[in-house]
Amino acid sequence: MRILTVFGTRPEVIKLAPVIQAANERGLEVNVCVSGQHRDMLDQMLADFGITPDYDLDVMQENQSPLEVAARILEQLAPVIATTRPDWLLVQGDTTTAFAAAWVSFHQRTAVAHVEAGLRTQDKFRPFPEEMNRRLTGVLSDIHFAPTERARENLLKEGVPAERVFLTGNTVVDALLSILRRAVVFSDSRLAGLAGRVLLVTAHRRESFGPPLQEICRAVRELVQTHPDITVVFPVHLNPSVRKTVFDLLDGQPRTVLTDPLSYPEFVHLMKRAELILSDSGGVQEEAPSIGTPVLVLREVTERPEAVESGWAQLVGTSREAIVTSARQWLARRRGDGLPVGPNPFGDGRASQRIVDVLLASSRERAWTIGR
Ligand code: UD1
Ligand code: UDP
């Protein structure tokens, strides 16, 4: 059984690393092809998880558009599939790399397995372009690894046959549990000796560029000015549009640490250390219940309502006033007061093993799928 996995961004490495490890341990042959959609943040995560790619399409350009990324992958991936001749092409989530790779794979008549399948907001433009990326990847996929029961139901409602959908949990929990076992050394000395309460912030969604991201930054500025016991840590995404807004509005503010993207162990440690997280990240919404720190979700809609239902996430949108009001309420509680109890909706840390079980049992399914 031979797998070709194709990915290109930070969150894909985090969520596929445990699957690659489980597949290798169970004797599957795994070829890794990175698109290089993210150059720096990808390499940082590959180093964190000790993954050496077999192929690197190296497509990133400064301030690229998703269509440019897709075009370069469409052009360059076919020969890799032709050379490796995988039984399955394995992709994760909703990035342009995942969608483009699934489309190339279809043209090469290679079966596609989709990890973290079935997430939906039902709003075509939120998040943009991820909602369409994941729907289109789903249409091109032959087996679907749904992280939650709701994701499984979304796929069934769209007519995906039940025998092609597997409820696995989210592999981010597997990654998180493995990283929590590691000791952490902060590369930025400002993070090594943080005193007092920490507010951890991330923001990078394309639909928030411009006024919504400015509102988020103004909210952070107001919170730090009105809470003298708080330090803000904001690892700033490398997208130039994000960096310009964040540095314009927050650089030089008191008790505000703007850093480059952090290694996964550093970031996980900070999530645990933080009293509250403000984020528009998909992965952080899944990690909050796993790690036990509440997150205010800086978006109008979420494809991860399970995080909200668990009590660990609150959808606050991007208006300055709404963010400040909700954050104040959380910060006024004594640490630990009124925190949710209950199981983690995103899994038990064994998602990757379940995925590999399915792949190992899949040869008959694959032959049927691709009409060979
Ligand atoms: C992508 C994904 C998004 C995911 C996010 C994770 C799509 C459409 N979007 O969005 O789903 O949440 O990654 O972070 O696939 N850059 C660098 N170095 C890097 C990474 C980015 O310089 O390591 C800069 C480049 O100028 C690049 C720009 O950021 O052109 C945008 O990167 P891109 O991957 O296109 O978009 P993201 O917004 O990061
Ligand atoms: N993350 C990290 N370092 C950082 C910021 C985030 O390791 O400086 C991790 C975070 O724990 C999560 C993932 O990156 O697992 C989320 O990536 P991102 O927000 O870029 O993408 P999304 O999940 O929104 O697609």
Residue 288, pLDDT score? 94
Is CATH 3.40.10.10 what the domain over 2-170+348-365 is classified as, yes or no? Answer: no
Q: Which residues pair with 29 in a beta bridge?
A: 2
Going 237 to 217 to 265 to 207, the CA torsion angle's sign is negative
Question: Model confidence over 133-185: pLDDT tens digits?
Answer: 999 999 999 999 999 999 999 999 999 999 999 999 999 999 999 999 898 99
Q: Round to whole Å and give the CA distance between 355 and 38.
A: 25
Q: Is the pLDDT of residue 67 over 90?
A: yes
Identity of the amino acid at 102: A
Check residue 328 and give its pLDDT: 97
What would the two tokens of residue 92 be? Answer: 């994760």
pLDDT value, residue 372:
42
One of 135, 204, 269, 354 is an active-site residue; which one? 204
Taking residue 150's Cβ as centre, other Cβ atoms within 10 Å add up to: 17
The model's confidence at residue 334, banded by pLDDT at 50, 70 and 90, is confident
Range 2-22 average pLDDT? 98
State the pLDDT at residue 44. 98
Phi and psi of 167, rounded to 5°?
Answer: -85, 115
| Amino acid 335: pLDDT | 72
Q: Find out whether 214 and 249 touch, Cβ atoms under 8 Å.
A: yes
Catalytic residue among 12, 87, 116, 280: 116
DSSP-derived secondary structure letter, 294:
-
- Return the CATH class of domain 189-333: alpha beta
> Is the bond preceding residue 66 a cis peptide, omega within 30 degrees?
no
Q: What confidence score (pLDDT) does residue 338 get?
A: 78
Q: Of 48, 94, 286, 287, which residue is the catalytic one?
A: 94
pLDDT at 367 over 50: no
- Is residue 144 flagged as an active site residue? no
What is the whole-number distance in angstroms between the Cα of residue 126 and the centre of ligand 1?
16
| Each residue's pLDDT tens digit, 86-133 | 999 999 999 999 999 999 999 999 999 999 999 999 999 999 999 999
Instruction: Describe the strand order of the beta sheet including 111-115 as a list of residue ranges.
Output: 55-56, 29-34, 2-7, 88-92, 111-115, 143-146, 165-167
236-251: average pLDDT: 98
Q: Which residues contact 177 (CB under 8 A, 6 or more apart)?
A: 290, 349
Instruction: Categorize the per-residue pLDDT at 340 as very low, low, confident or very high, splitting at 50, 70 and 90.
Output: confident
| Residue of 72, 117, 129, 89 whose CA lies nearest to 7 | 89
Q: Which amino acid is at 80?
A: V
Q: Where are the beta strands (DSSP E) in 81-185?
A: 88-92, 111-115, 143-146, 165-167
223-228 average pLDDT score: 97
Closest ligand relative to 11 C-alpha: 2
CA angle centred on 163, ends 160 and 166, rounded to 5°: 90
Domain limits, CATH 3.40.50.2000, in the chain: 2-170+348-365, 189-333
Q: How far is the CA of 73 from the centre of ligand 2 (A)?
A: 23
Mean pLDDT of 43-60: 98
Give the pLDDT score at 371. 43
- The response to whether residue 67 sits with its C-beta less than 6 Å from ligand 1 reads no
Instruction: Return the best residue to mutate from 60, 73, 119, 260 for the ligand 1 pocket (most ligand atoms within 8 A of CB).
Output: 60
Residue 50: count of CB within 10 angstroms of its CB: 8
